[in-house]
Amino acid sequence: MPVPTDIVPLGTASAIPAHGRHLSACVLRREGRALLFDCGEGTQYQLRRAGLRRSRIEAVFITHLHGDHLFGLPGLLTSFALLGRTAPLTIVGPTDLAEVLHMLPGLRRDWLPFAVHHVGLEEGFEHAVVYETDDFTVEARPLAHRVFTAGFRFETKPRPGRVDAERARALGLTGPQIGALVRGETVTAGAGRVVEPAEIQGPARPGVAFAYCLDTAPCDGARKLAEGADLVLHDATFGEELRDRAEETGHATARQAAEVARAAGAKRLLLTHFSARYETPEPLVAEARRVFENTDAAREVETYRLRPDD
């Protein structure tokens, strides 16, 4: 059976909280596990508002060292310590992030009751797998912002192909034999006939994929992260009327975000990181839909299933 995977945007504002919007953060959930992408000021309040358990967070991915994506992390780590966390935590981000955190009271490695594994990204890198389990990987690629910034792609590992039940019955296979074939093993059916997995099983099915692309102007890194993704969360700080401002500050317009999603063959686009100039993101959504129809504005603390049929 497919395993549901979803994201919960916690903050959709750019630079400062405005119009009820909070600073950048997003949680991805799968089988009781949680990954946190960025951790702007107020992330803990948003976690509580969304009914998400801090203790489930096993890794944090920080795009860059601007405060609206980072300043919630020291408080979150302090809360972990006060609550007696013992489970290890992985923190991925620019190499200097570890030094920034260790300078703060109470956040040195030897003062925390849990282990912190820092995965540093050096400016100039092109691609890296920064987190991996038996079930999924998270990769990073550089983005185009005023400072060194990385985007991330979560992707589950391919699932076995569907079993042709009629063919399996015709071969006289038992349940345990079918299970072995699904695991990639060869089995022996009646009359000593050797059966290979490909005889009853279709091609492997791709996993689900989520791309997290902010802060960034449109770039190859974002397109590669978004390639074929089920859901892309992309910077849409401005509308086209402020394209010059977007270029100056290293951000994207809503139209540019849509162009990235279209070029990447993504299935769905959520816009985020809205400038305080916009009381509502509706004009940005309208702009993007003229290029990529399956676009919405990310709504805070709402749950989005990566693949709705899972």
Please tell me the distance from the alpha carbon of residue 33 to that of residue 136, in angstroms, as a whole number: 11
Q: Helices 254-264 and 282-289, interaxial angle, to 10°?
A: 40
Helix H or strand E segment including 221 = helix 220-226
The pLDDT of residue 216 is 98
Q: Model pTM greater than 0.85?
A: yes
The pLDDT of residue 1 is 59
Fold of 5-159+205-305: Metallo-beta-lactamase; Chain A (3.60.15)
The pLDDT of residue 16 is 95
Mean pLDDT per 10-residue section of the chain, whose length is 310 residues: 88 96 98 96 97 97 97 96 96 96 83 94 97 97 98 91 73 80 78 77 84 97 98 98 98 98 98 98 98 98 89
The pLDDT of residue 310 is 63
> Where are the domains positioned within the chain?
5-159+205-305, 165-199
Distances (CA, A) of 108 to 28, 118, 270: 27, 12, 36
Please tell me the distance from the alpha carbon of residue 252 to that of residue 77, in angstroms, as a whole number: 31
Please tell me the distance from the alpha carbon of residue 286 to that of residue 295, in angstroms, as a whole number: 9
Quickly list DSSP for 238-280.
B-GGGHHHHHHHT--BHHHHHHHHHHHT-S-EEEE-B-TT-SS
Among residues 68, 215, 230, 235, which one is catalytic? 68
The pLDDT of residue 202 is 72
The residues near 105 (Cβ < 8 Å, ≥ 6 apart) are none
- Tokens at 40, concatenated: 């702007």
> 68 catalytic, yes or no?
yes
